[in-house]
Structure formats: C-alpha cells, structure tokens
Structure 1
Amino acid sequence: MSLYKSLFKQTLIYGLATVLPRMISFLLNPLYTDVLPKQEFADVSIVFAYLVFFNVVLSYGMETAFFRFYNLEGTSDSELAKQNKKKVTSTATISIFWTTIVFLFSSLLFRNTLASWSNIKVHYITYTIWILAFDALATIPFSKLRAEKKPMAYAVIKIGNVVINFTLNLFFLIVLPKIATNPDSFFHTIYFENFQVGYIFISNVIASLLTFLVLSPNYFKIKWSFDFTLWKKMLHYGLPILIAGIGFAINEHFDKILLDKFHISKDDIGAYSACYKIGMFMVLFRTAYTLGIEPFFFSHADQENAPQTYATVTKYFVITGSFILLFVIVFIDILKMLLVPNPSYWEAIKVVPLIILANFFLGIYTNLSVWYKLIDKTKIGAYISITGAVITLVLNYLLIPKFSYYGSAIATIAAYGSMMFISFYLGQKKYPIPYEINKIGAYLGISITLSALSFYIPKFRESYIFGILALLIFAYYIYRNEKQVVLKILKRK
C-alpha cells in the first residue's frame, strides 16, 4: 500500500496545484460573462485556443523526453547518475531556450501577418507571443521540480501564477475603471475604454513573466553544455509526443476555432465556451492525475509487478472519475448558477454531460497509453492522436453546419472514445496489462446510466432526490466491491 500512498500524496499535491488555480480561474468565468459581451468572450476563447496549440509546439515533446531520460540515465545513487541527470537537464534547457528565442523574435517580426491570417487584432497577437515565450522558458524548470519530487515548490509557483493573474484581472476589469476617473491620476493614464480583452491578456503576460523570473535561477545553475547525441535521442523520443500533443490540442480546443471558421455566431461560441467550463471539473481531476502519474509510471517501470500496479491504478482512476461524472451531472443546475450566472449563456448547458464524459475517456486513455511510452514507441501515441484529430476535424466539418456547437461536443466524445479503445486494443498486444475489465466496465456503465437518467429525465432533474440517491447507491456499490482497499486507506495501513 505504501506505493499507492506515495502516488496518492503526489497526486494530491499536484492536484492542489491544479485544482486551486483552476478554481480561482473559474471565478473569472462569471466575471468575464458580466464584463464582456458574448462576442468578446468568444474572441478570448478563440485566442486561448490558439495559445494552447502553440504551447504544445514550443515544448515539442521535450518535457516527456526529459522525464524519460532523467530517470533512464545511470544508477540512482551513483555519482555518474547525478552527472547524467545534469547533462539531461542542461541539454533540454538549452534546446528549449534557443527555440523559444527564435520563435519570439520571428513571431514579433511577422506579427502583422499573423494577425491578418488569424483575423485577430495585432496587439492581442503581441501579448500572446510573449505569454507563449515565457511559458515555454518555464517548461524544463517546472519539469525538474517534478522529477526531483518537489511537488510543494511546484504547487506554490503554479498557484502563485494564477493568483497574480486573477488579481490583475480584478484590478483591470473592476477596480481600474472606478479609480481612473481623475484625469490627473496615474491610473487614468493606464486606463483605456473598451480595452477589456486587452487587459485580460496583459494580466496573463505579467503572471507568466513573474513565473519565469521565479524559475530563472535554474538557467544560472545549470552547466551550459549541450550534448548533441543525447539531444537527438530526446528529440527522437519527443517528436511523436509533439504530434500527439498537436492532436490533443485539436481535440480539446480547435472546436472554438472551427466554429468561428464555419461562421457560427459569436454569441453561440461565447455561450458554448462559457458552459464548457462546467465540464472542467473532470479536466481538473484528469490533469492533476496526469501530473502525478507520468513520473510514477517511469520510475516503477523496472519493477516485476509493474503491469499489475498499472492495472490497479487504472481501476481506481475509473472509480474516482465515475463518481465525479455522476456528481457534477446531478448538481449541474447548481453549478451553472455559480460558474455561469448569466442565464443568457445557459442555452449551451446541454453539451456539458458530453464534455465531461469526453474528458473522462481522455483520462482513461492517459492510463492506457503507458505501454507505448515504456517501450519507447511514442510514435504509436502520435498515430492514435492523429486518428483522434482526424475524427475531430471530420465530424466537426460534418456536424457543425447541422448542429452548431453540439456537433463539436459530439465530435469530441467520439474522438476521445476512439482513442481510448484503440490504445487498449494495441496495448494488450504489445504490453499486456491485466486490467479488471468487468469491474471497470461496470463502474463506468453504472455511472453513465445514472447520469443520463438524472440529466435527461425532467422529473429526476427537477428534484435532487433521485440524483442524491444515485450517488449514495453508487458509493455503496464502490464500497462493497473495494471494501478491503477502502478500509486499508481509512486505517492508514
């Protein structure tokens, strides 16, 4: 049990580093919907979709490659191992540093062309370029904290970033307009009317800059030596991760861009983007879990019982995710009032169950994908991700004209579901893991069924009696089937 407790503690801390900032970010959702018209909220969502896409490009799989080679090189307690770890750190850091510098100056040089191509205002493009650059430069320092098992430092910096961003948003959008009325004051000089979207991006630039400055000592501590042979190995390992990441970005965020390209009204895109946030509860769980599980998978790959360990971890991921799925859908009408208090946005609430389930499928896929990372066949992950991206693009192309943003939600769940099944099928052939398929299927099936009944049957949705009973029944079912493990955790044995 100590193995799982260690994973649980790391996941909990990484979860706090993810959940707390996201919970703070959730507060921005009602703020934005109050301050911004739906059209401008849509603009923000579209720009951030591009930002996620280019974040993946600028890290080009080096983060995952860093973990792989950091744990692979040398013997854990030897002096040689320490030197190898330093070599991996310096090579990855130098690689990210110079590619980011090239991106920064070339993008600034051609920012007008980028603005024209994307139909985004040039100053928004400029802010986005700086955000991307600072975030890319923080990639390896953050990875090093995770590899050295310093989750508290990681959490403090991550939370600090979002607290600063949140505070600046409040200042620029709420406080500044009230204190800038005096023409002779300093605040009047930094206040511009109808510049709310610009202030949102400025807040992000400042937060990313401060985060980079906190992590910048890492650049002075490393020995600036570049191992070209090692770099080629890391690049070879990481490039398929890049392709997979691009596929992920397409599946996760490209729908906002495609909706805009298909000339769906900005009002609809704004409503869809706002209600999409409610589905982020599953994203929080999945992201926190991924941060803790990736180093765990690699560090335990050589153990004899590794396949059984991976199977057990996956089962408990499904159990937890299934409960989250049911809980969010049961209380969806309460959550929408907290996260999207403007009723004009609620027309898109129907997509939330699909978004939550889609992200759950993606989390299961993350578990199932361990096999190709451990046998250094990351290109298979790229193929699977490309398949998901193709499904996303094709279904969006077919469904958006008929069903608008609901078609995008259907495309997302189809893409992630396909990726999940493909990875399971191939993984059992290349790296068999004894998953408890019957139990996993039962937990998932019961959760989906109870969620569907709770959401789609009006009588059940109007009264929380059915939903609460469903949660209690499902909790008892989990306890009955996992009683021994639950009791061990509660008793800290």
Structure 2
Amino acid sequence: MAIFKKLFQQTFIYGLATVLPRALAIVLVPLYTEVLAPASFGIYATLMSYIILGNVLLSYGMETAFFRFINKDTSQKKIVQSTALTSLTISTVLFLAVAMVFRIPLAEIVDFKVEYVTYGLLILALDALVILPFVWFRANEKPMRYAIIKIINVCINLGFNLFFFLWLPQLASESNGFWASIHTEENKVVYVFISNVIASGATLLMLLPLYFKIGFGFDKTLWKQMMKYAYPVLIAGIAFSINEAFDKILLKYLLPEDIAESEVGVYAACYKLGVFMTLFATAFRLGIEPFFFNHSKHEKAKDTYATITKYFTIFGSFILLFVIVYIDLFKRLLISNSEYWVALSIVPIILLANLCLGIYHNLSVWYKVTDRTQFGAYISVIGAIITLALNYILIPKMSYMGSAIATLAAYGTMMLLSYFFGRKYYAVPYDLTKIGSYLVMAIVFSGLSFYIFDGNLWIGTALLLVFLLSIFFSERKELQRILKR
C-alpha cells in the first residue's frame, strides 16, 4: 500500500505541474479564438507542431537514458548526470547557432515569416536547455521543486499573454510612444510566441543554479552507451511527434491554400477539448515512469503493473464519457466563438485516441525495464506510417475529420501491438475482461450521447451514472481491500 501511496502522491504533484501548463492552453483558447481569426490560430497551431518535433530531436532520448543509467549503476550516478547535461548543452547551443544562420531559407521551406521561425528556434533552444534539470528533479524525487518552477513558467506565460492581448492595446491607444511602437493589430499572433520566449527564458534562469550543482563532465564511453540506449527512444519520439503534430502540418499543405490555415485553426481549437485526456495521461506517465524503473525488481512488480493499468483505464474511460456528455458546456466555456464549432465532431475521436495512447504508455513498461527500447521505436514507426498514410489519403476527401481518424487508428494500433509484443517478452497479467468491458462501455455510451442523443444532458448524465455504478459494484471489494492495508 505504501508503494501505491507514494506513486499517487508523486503523480498528483507532477500532475499539478503538468495540468497547469496544459490548463494555460485551455485558459488561452477563449482568448485566442476571440482575438485571432481561424487562419491566425492555424499559424500558431502549425508552428507549435514543428516545435513538438524539434523538442524530440533536441532531447534525442537522453531523458529516458538518464533514468535508466542512474538506476542501473548507482556508483556512476554523478558522471551520468554530468555527461547527460554536457551532451544536451553542447548540442543545443550548436543547433541554435547553425539554425539562426540559416533561418531565412528555413522560413522559405516551411512557408512562415522569418520572425515566426526565429521565435520558434529560441523557444526550442530554451526548452532544450531545461530538459536535464527537470529530469534531475524527477530522478531525485523532488516533485515540489519541479512543480513550483513549472507553475511560475505558467504564470509568466499567462501574464504576458494577457498583457499583450488585453492591456497593450489600451496603453498604445493612450500613447504615441513606446507602447504604441510595440503594438500591432495586423500581426497579433506574434505575441503568443513572444510570451512563450519570455517564459522559457525565465525558467532557464531559475534552473541555472542546478547546472552548477550537477556540474559539467563527460565520459565518452558512458555517453556512447547512453546514446545506444537513447537512439531507439529518439526514433520512437520522432514517430510520436509525427502522430501528435503532423496532422496540423499536413492539413496546411494538403488542403487548398485559400482554406488551409482556417481549417487548421478550427481543427486545432476543437482538438484542445481533448486536452483533458492528455492532461490525465501525461500526469500519470510523469509519475509512473520513475516508478516503473524503481519497482521493476520487486517480486510482485507485474501484478502491480497490471493493477495500475486497470485503474488508469477506469479513470481514462470516465474522462472520455464525462467530456462527451458535457461537450456543449465545455465548448461554450472554452471556445466562445461559434465560428470554431464546425470541427466539434472530431472531439470524441481525439479523446478516444488519447486514451489509447495513455494505455499504450502503461503497456510499454515491458520494453523499458527489459532494455528492449528498439521495440518502442518499431511500434512508434508503425504508428507514424499509419498517421502519414491515412492523413495523405483522407485529408483531401474528409479534411480534418480524416486527421482525427488517422490519429485514432495510429494510437489504437500502437496500443494493441505493445500488448501482443509484451505478452512474449514480459508477460503482465492484465485483467483484460474488466479493462475491455470498461473501455467498451465508455465508448458505446459516448457514441450514444454524442451521435444518437445529440448531447442531451439528461440522457448523457444518466449514462454517466450507470457507468460509475457499474465500476463501483465491480471494484468495491478490491478498493476496500486496498484501503484497509
């Protein structure tokens, strides 16, 4: 029981630190969709998609390698930390220097203004430089420090967004001086990127003391071993970024030019309604990943993993059904501009896709604790191929609905592949009957609420209560047994 208590405590704290940045995205959606036209929101969404891919490339799997090697041989803990920090620092500085030199041709390739690309490069570099300090907090079980700095980052980002979009126009109208010189009505999306740069820069300054605590050092032999472990994780990360972000990018380039950015904008805005599932899955993963490694040698590790996956599925299924039942309330709260509502039909699909991704992360314990990370790469590459192929086929015919279907197909396939490979190499006794029944019930009830009863709150609430009661009667004995320990 102590193990579960510690897990849930850390998951809650990491969850808070993860929920708040994501919650920032939710809070800002009403502001962005009110102030920015769908085309401008599409620019923001597409550039952020490139940044997601860039984050993976600049971290190159070192985060996972760091966790593995400090737990593999505790006597090498200090040199593992310093080697990882030195590697990430040097590679990031070199990247930024080269990319800035070639930012103009790069902007032409991706079809963005040079200033957007410049801000994107700065965000990428600043975020890469804080990867290792944040990983150090997680590895040394200091979730509060992790959370506090993440929360400060959120406050700074939110503060500057509010300043630029709400207060700066008023200051500029009252003055012809400095405030008027930095205000623009035609290019408001740039304020989103500037706010992000300021917040990321402030975060790096807060974490600089940790650079001195960890220290720089480099063990070439150890670095090669870490890179060998990290390489498949990098491939998997690239594939994941394709699954997560390339739908927006492909929409921009596969749809007619006159509607592409607007279609990306409405799709990306409604995609944000799926963030509730992403919040839960990401917070859970941040808490569970160190636990998976630390607990892997325990006698009943597999039974523990099975229990964790079952309860993850229960909570995830509840979130899926809850958001769908009250979708009309969420859309009015988060996307007040009805111009964006045309893409609401993607929300059930995106929520289910992200639930499948969360289950996949739980199932993926087998290849992480057995050092078979190449399987993570294989599975992710298959998912990326599905994403690219279905987007290419479906976008010209179905626009953003094709992207949503491609996302679900990719994540669903990855979930199933991980389970079947895991049975062979590290068999965990998952309760498939219960996991499957909860998942199917949530999917069926969500479909009935959204597609058949057209969001009727009374019927949807009744379905939600039936779902909760079914779980209660099915799980009450096990919950009572856990709580008594």
Opposite residue 67 of structure 1, the aligned amino acid is: F
Instruction: Show the 5 A alignment for 1:216-227.
Output: 216-227=208-219
Give the Cα–Cα distance (whole angstroms) in 2 for the partners of residues 492 and 112 of structure 1. 64
Does 1:14 pair with 2:6? no
Q: Do the aligned residues in 2 keep the contact of 1:25 with 1:162 (CA within 8 Å)?
A: no
1:154-303 alignment to 2 at 5 Å? 154-264=146-256, 265=259, 266-303=261-298
* Equivalent residue number for residue 91 of structure 2: 99
Structure 1 contact 330–461 (Cα < 8 Å) conserved:
no
**Counterpart in 2 of 1:476?**
469
1:446 corresponds, among 441, 445, 468, to 441
The equivalent residue for 1:78 is none
Letter in 2 for 1:476: L
1:379 aligns with: 374
* AA partner of residue 448 (structure 2): L
Whether contact under 8 Å (2:449, 2:456) holds in the other structure is: no
Alpha-carbon RMSD: 1.2
Residues 117-164 of structure 1: per-residue CA shift (max 9 Å, x gap): 000100111111111111000000000000111111111111111111
Q: Tell whether the 8 Å contact from 2:322 to 2:464 is kept in structure 1 after alignment.
A: yes
Q: How does 1:143-158 map to 2 (within 5 A)?
A: 143-158=135-150
Match of 2:457 in 1: 464
1:73-152 equivalences in 2 (<5 Å): 73-74=73-74, 81=75, 84-152=76-144
Distance in 1 (CA, whole Å) between partners of 2:455 and 2:91 is: 54
Query: CA separation in 1, counterparts of 2:185 and 2:460?
Result: 46
Cα distance in structure 2, aligned partners of 1:346 and 1:240: 39
Q: What is the rounded CA distance, in whole Å, between the counterparts of 2:217 and 2:12 in structure 1?
A: 36
Q: 1:492: how far off?
A: 6.8
Partner amino acid, structure 1, of 2:40: E
Kindly state the Cα deviation for residue 420 of structure 1 after the two structures are TM-superposed.
0.6
- Larger mean Cα displacement after TM superposition, 1-10 or 422-431: 1-10
Is the 2:328–2:455 contact (alpha carbons within 8 Å) kept by the matching residues of 1?
no
CA distance in 1, matches of 2:110, 2:51: 12
- What TM-score do you get using the length of structure 1 for normalisation? 0.96
Q: 1:182-218 CA deviation, whole Å, 9 max, x = no partner?
A: 4454322322332311111110000000001101112
Point out where structure 1 has 5 or more consecutive residues left out of the alignment: 75-80
* Aligned partner letter, 2:477: Q
Contact 1:38–1:267 under 8 Å retained in 2: yes
CA distance in 1, matches of 2:291, 2:211: 26
CA distance, structure 2, for counterparts of residue 439 and residue 263 of structure 1: 42
Q: Where do 5+ consecutive residues of structure 2 fail to align?
A: none
Contact 2:318/2:442, CA 8 A, preserved across alignment? yes
Query: What residue is the counterpart of 1:432 in the other structure?
Result: 427
The structural deviation recorded for 1:243 is 0.7
Question: Contact 1:41 / 1:270 at 8 angstroms: preserved in 2?
Answer: yes
Q: What is residue 28 of structure 1 aligned with on the other side?
A: 28
Q: Aligned partners of 1:85, 1:180: CA distance in 2, in Å?
A: 53
Deviations 1:91-120 (A, max 9, x none): 000000000011010000000011000001
Where does residue 313 of structure 1 map in the other structure? 308
Task: Flag the 1:157–1:223 CA change in 2: closer, same or farther, 3 A.
Answer: closer
Indicate if the aligned counterparts of 2:321 and 2:446 stay in contact, CA closer than 8 A: yes
Q: Describe the SS at the equivalent of 1:226.
A: coil
Deviations 1:271-296 (CA, angstroms, capped at 9, x unpaired): 11100000111000010011001000
Asked if 1:344 is matched to 2:336, the reply is no
SS in 2 for 1:196: coil
2:189 alignment partner, SS class = helix
- Work out the percentage of aligned pairs sharing the same amino acid: 54
Separation in structure 1 between the aligned mates of residue 87 and residue 263 of structure 2, nearest angstrom? 41
Alpha-carbon separation, structure 1, partners of 2:175 and 2:49: 37
Q: Equivalent of 1:353, from 348, 351, 355?
A: 348
Tell me the SS of whatever aligns to 1:461: coil
CA contact (8 A) 2:255 2:399 kept: no
> What is the CA–CA distance in structure 2 between the aligned matches of 1:465 and 1:415, rounded to whole Å?
34
Equivalent in the alignment of 1:53? 53
- SS where residue 385 of structure 2 aligns? helix
Is the contact made by 2:449 and 2:455 (CA closer than 8 Å) also made in structure 1?
no
CA distance in 2 between partners of 1:462 and 1:386 (Å): 37
Q: Is the 8 A contact 1:454 1:467 kept in 2?
A: yes
Post-superposition CA distance 1:41-80 (Å, at most 9, x none): 1000000000001000000000010011111113xxxxxx
Aligned mates of 2:375, 2:90 — CA distance in 1? 28
In structure 2, the CA distance between the partners of 1:230 and 1:462, relative to structure 1 (3 Å rule), is closer
Pairwise CA distance, 1:485:
3.6
Q: 1:304 aligns with which of 290, 299, 305?
A: 299
Report Cα offsets for 1:206-255 as digits up to 9, x if no partner: 00000011011121223322111111111111111111111111111100
* 2:386 aligned with 1:391: yes
| 1: CA distance, partners of 2:481 / 2:120 | 48
Partner of 2:480: 487
User: Aligned pair 1:4/2:4, yes or no?
Assistant: yes
1:357 partner SS = helix
Deviates more, 1:151-160 or 1:382-391: 151-160
Give me the whole-angstrom Cα distance separating, in 1, the residues matched to 2:484 and 2:117: 52
CA distance in 2 between partners of 1:188 and 1:5 (Å): 54
User: Quick one: distance in 2 between partners of 1:189 and 1:393?
Assistant: 43
Distance in 2 (alpha carbons) for counterparts of 1:46 and 1:269: 8
Count the aligned residue pairs. 482
Cα distance between partner residues in 1 of 2:397 and 2:192: 33
